[in-house]
Amino acid sequence: MQLSKNRLLRLLALLFAFSLVAAACGGDDGDDDAGETQTTEAMAEEEADDHDEDDGHDHDEEEMAADEPEEEAGGLSQEVIEQAAEEEEMADDEMMDDEEMMEFDRSTMEGIFEEAEFRRAKVVERITAQIEAGEWGVGDDNVLRGPEGFTIDLNECPDDWSNTEGITDTEIRLGQTGPQSGTLALYGNARLGWQTYLLHVNAEGGIAGRDVVMKSYDDAYVAAQTIEFVDELIENDNVFAIHTLGSPNTLAVYDTLNAECIPQPFVWTGHPAWGDPEVHPWTTGSILSYSTESVLWGNWIKDNLADELPVVVAGLVMDNDFGLAYELGFEEYAHNNPDVVSEFVPVRHDPASPTITNEITTIAASDPDVYISMTAGNACLLAIQEVAASGLKDDISAAFTPSVCKAPASWVSPAGDDGDGWYIVGGGVKDTTDPALIGSDAFIDFIIESLEANDLDPTISMFGNGYMLGYPYVEALRIAAELPASANNPAGLNRANFILAVRAIDIHHPIFLDGITFAMNGNADAFPIEGTDISQYDSSTHSWIVSNVIDVNGASGNCVWDKDNGGCR
């Protein structure tokens, strides 16, 4: 029996990507090009043709299916990493798709935007073909259908729901909530970067001739405030789509937004709950899942501290849904890998507390071999300082800070030499203040010039993160604006076409490191980012030194989050 082309393509790409995990985490620092996961249909067809020469039975396909790595709900499983590490590494030049063969010049903004246009056209072409075939789009039954069984029954939307709410003849209104005050206020600077990018987009003609505008509220990272402001955005501001920041904040409103059939894509949080295209189809994430990050911490320990195993690992955990996602992820890893982690000691801290001295003292008393910050905001900086002040840094073999605290200017550099040598599974996001990138990365230079032109300080990393959030939003809006009519949905930009574009997005995101894919595929792949760098901080240059880039696109299983018990089901 011939293997499914799509399934074989995906399997080949996954096995190649996973084989890089072991090499990346324990290999030479010079393997910076690890993580490329490109394939050709010709390669897959050749493999499939080889199977056609068999006796016609389906035992080969069954054997391959049995050996295929299993997905882990909400993230990447250690089992997948271990199995993939046994596979032979494929050569990069054997795995090339048509985007790479176009040889876009990513060293110039012209080349970046040319590639963006090409990739948008490919997504529009894919969706259009399926709509014209009657497979996707809104059918006569008023059900929206998309990739890999993705569906939304629009009959269940409120009676007063509008497919074009927030769209006028001149503008597209977006809503946003996030902390502009409180302990995580620095993250609120991202909205200003995002709005600056929108100024550029609007100056270039906007989306389908409309300006994109954003209404923002300060929820101070308080979930009750997020609920209040989301209600305001829905009832009074009449926005087209809503963006939220923070795990507890997003969890507080994503049931409501999905019941109201309001798009909530690319939220700024890596909670695994956003990988739920069936129960919460209107909500998606935008960064690496905390569950995957937790497993990669463990895998780094296994590969780099082999002579010390098993080790005691202690974690400073923010006491809310955000920190819980990290804690559960690493707790599961430790449970499944007792030969790597002999004991995991989580110590929780109040998100609003201005100090964490007592918590670090408790952690130091547990005599850990490895320390991990599972927190955010100023607590990341405080942890670096307190770990050094307590003497713990001198006693441990490694210390990790989380991907959400990657910005050196905000969370690492103020600690001076105390930050030197810390590790991070960084999620693949480039730091717009990295001296090594300034002047050599076209998109970073574009961001800096845009910020300066609008009187914003480019040395504040969070402004740059606004471009990380805004870029895919704009690309999805542009794709939706080009989509044709389906049986029960008009052509062009509307909520149904927008979420269809989001669920089929496949772009090069220029603020992520090369080799990291930004893509989703309906119910089969609900996480846009499944790649990361593994880096170590150099206090002398105030930058993260990237040793490896890993991409595991398509490897994470979907996650229906169980609020009562915690964890995916």
Q: How far apart are CA 549 and CA 23, in angstroms?
A: 11
In this structure, the number of other CB atoms found within 10 A of the CB of residue 213 comes to: 16
Query: Is 227 in the same domain as 243?
Result: yes
Query: Is 276 in the same domain as 157?
Result: yes
**Residue given tokens 């080799």 in the structure block:** 515
Domain residues for the domain of 139 are: 104-288+433-529
pLDDT in tens, 337-374: 999 999 999 999 999 999 999 999 999 999 999 999 99
What integer pLDDT is reported at residue 552 of this predicted model? 84
Residue 358 located in a structural domain: no
Residue 257 located in a structural domain: yes
What CATH number did the domain enclosing 157 receive?
A: 3.40.50.2300
Residues 330 and 344 sit within 8 Å (Cβ to Cβ): yes
What integer pLDDT is reported at residue 78 of this predicted model? 60
pLDDT in tens, 400-439: 999 999 999 889 999 999 999 999 999 999 999 998 899 9
Report the b/e string of 102-137 with b at 16+ CB within 10 A: eebebeeeeebeebbeebbeebbeebbebbeeeebb
Q: Which of 48, 80, 100 is the last residue of a domain?
A: 100
Query: Is 94 in the same domain as 144?
Result: no
Number of domains in the chain: 2
What integer pLDDT is reported at residue 30 of this predicted model? 36
What integer pLDDT is reported at residue 31 of this predicted model? 36
Amino acid at 562: D
Residues 214 and 201 sit within 8 Å (Cβ to Cβ): no
**Mean pLDDT calculated for residue range 140-148:** 98
Query: Is 50 in the same domain as 127?
Result: no
Q: How far apart are CA 112 and CA 104, in angstroms?
A: 7
What integer pLDDT is reported at residue 569 of this predicted model? 80
pLDDT in tens, 491-537: 999 999 999 999 999 999 999 999 999 999 999 999 999 999 999 99
Query: Is 111 in the same domain as 87?
Result: no
Residue 306 located in a structural domain: no
Query: Is 85 in the same domain as 128?
Result: no
Query: Is 121 in the same domain as 241?
Result: yes
What integer pLDDT is reported at residue 11 of this predicted model? 42
At residue 71 the predicted structure's pLDDT band, cuts being 50, 70 and 90, is low
Q: Check residues 51 and 485 and name the one with the higher pLDDT.
A: 485
Residue 485 located in a structural domain: yes
Please report the DSSP string for 303-327 in residue order: HH-GGG-SEEEEEEEESSHHHHHHH
Q: Which of 100, 117, 135 is the last residue of a domain?
A: 100
Instruction: Share the mean pLDDT of the chain.
Output: 86
- List residues bridging with 370 in a β-sheet: 313, 398
Query: Is 84 in the same domain as 112?
Result: no
What integer pLDDT is reported at residue 564 of this predicted model? 80
What integer pLDDT is reported at residue 75 of this predicted model? 66
At residue 79 the predicted structure's pLDDT band, cuts being 50, 70 and 90, is low
Q: How far is CA 418 from the centre of its chain?
A: 28
Residue 442 located in a structural domain: yes
Query: Is 172 in the same domain as 214?
Result: yes
Query: Is 160 in the same domain as 247?
Result: yes
Residue 347 located in a structural domain: no
Query: Is 59 in the same domain as 190?
Result: no
Q: Which of 100, 122, 142 is the last residue of a domain?
A: 100
Residue 71 located in a structural domain: yes
Query: Is 27 in the same domain as 63?
Result: yes
Residue 370 located in a structural domain: no
Q: How far apart are CA 106 and CA 232, in angstroms?
A: 41
φ, ψ (nearest 5 deg) of residue 561: -75, 130
